[in-house]
Amino acid sequence: MDTEEVWERIKELKPVVDEEIRKVIPKNHEIKHLYDEVHYHLNTGGKRWRPGLCIMTCEALGGTKEKALPYAAAIEIIHNFSLIHDDIQDRDEYRRDHPTVWKRIGIPRAINVGDGMFAKAFVSTSRGEEVGLSDSTNFKLLKLLSQVVTELTEGQAMDINSRERVDMTEDEYMKMISKKTGALVSGSVYGGALIAGASKEIQQEVRSYGEKIGYAFQIADDLLDFNEGKGRAGQVGNDIREGKRSLMAVHYINNSENPQEFIDILDRPREDTTDKEVEKAIEMLQGKGSLDYARNKVEKLIQEGIQHLQPLPDTKNKEYLIGMAEFIQERDF
């Protein structure tokens, strides 16, 4: 399937997901600097591909979009809650070329906006009974969302802690992104399978698919940072400025005879890191083959993920899921 066709399907689902979010997060509310800031943040962009995956998985297994929407919206709310807090932690002033929420209204209010989104995600999930889900399925989804958020929080802690380390292994890195990124993606597709009433065997295959493409997405996202800015005032190499231990950084440190110069650049305060130092760090990664290593890892993970879809019935939505995996490998967003 042409990846553009997959993206057209995601675009079709975006307004439907946004409408579902508005059912639990009102656009107009008497309390200022809360829900209005949620919608400001959502309106700055975002593709809604995670809830799209949830819906397409549900449909691929015989379920309906209508029954998947409350949980799919919850996944998107949780994702954006994490972005608002992530921007605070990284002191990022721009996301998608717009001022971040904390830059607009200050850190105390921005933290509260994120907290409000966290709560509303569970409100959205609990709406499952309104669209015909059984109490048992609704409980499983609430439990799943709790697990996803727990993993996400643990992964973020591991990410922050890793910036003070020089001995991080690739296995530790993979464990970190399995929580920080993989949990949200696998939780999206696994939730779709639960809603559709798929067998436990199919649920596990779908979950493994989500884990693999979640890993691939994070590595591809880190690679993208070396080619163009992530909506942060157009800067290249923000992860280097922030000292993040990406797969490329871990590979370089563990395979270089003398990685100290690279480590020194990573560990320098962001405001003291010059563009020339960032360029130097990227040259080091290129010279050691760390960028190519990461690209090959993405390709391998994508193929492993697609293999987990083999037991699914051959439908258009299965093709969408395969196409979405391939799109992550080619992504430029």
Q: Which residue has the higher pLDDT, 15 or 235?
A: 15
- pLDDT tens digit sequence for 33-79: 999 999 999 999 999 999 999 999 999 999 999 999 999 999 999 99
Residue 281 φ then ψ, to 5° = -60, -40
Mean pLDDT of 279-287: 95
Q: Answer whether 121's CB lies under 8 Å from 23's CB.
A: no
Average pLDDT over residues 98-121: 98
Q: What percent of the chain has pLDDT over 90?
A: 85
Q: H-type helices in the chain, by residue range?
A: 3-22, 35-43, 49-60, 65-90, 101-105, 107-126, 135-162, 170-177, 183-196, 200-224, 238-241, 247-255, 260-267, 275-288, 290-307, 316-330
pLDDT of 167 > 90? The answer is no
Residue pLDDT, tens place only, 292-320: 999 999 999 999 999 999 999 999 999 99
The distance between the two most distant Cα atoms of the chain, rounded to a whole number of Å, is 60
pLDDT at position 234, please? 62
Sorting pLDDT into bands at 50, 70 and 90, what band is 236? confident
Segment 195-226, tens digit of pLDDT: 999 999 999 999 999 999 999 999 998 998 88
Q: For residue 34, which of 98, 99, 75, 84 has the smallest C-alpha distance?
A: 84
Quote the CA–CA distance of 67 and 71 in Å, as a whole number. Answer: 8
pLDDT exceeds 60 at position 229: no
Classify residue 86 by burial, with Cβ atoms within 10 Å: 0-12, 13-18, 19+.
middle
Q: What is the pLDDT of residue 110?
A: 98
- Flag whether the pTM goes above 0.85: yes
Between 125 and 7, residue with greater pLDDT? 125
Q: With 80 as the cut, is the pLDDT of residue 233 above it?
A: no
- Inform me whether the pLDDT recorded for 231 exceeds 50: no
- Domains along the sequence of the chain with CATH: 3-319 (1.10.600.10)
Predicted pLDDT at 43: 95
Closest to 218 in 3D by CA, of 256, 188, 246: 246
Q: What average pLDDT does this structure show over 247-257?
A: 95
Task: Tell me the per-residue pLDDT of 170-179, one tens digit each, with 9 for 90 and over.
Answer: 999 999 999 9
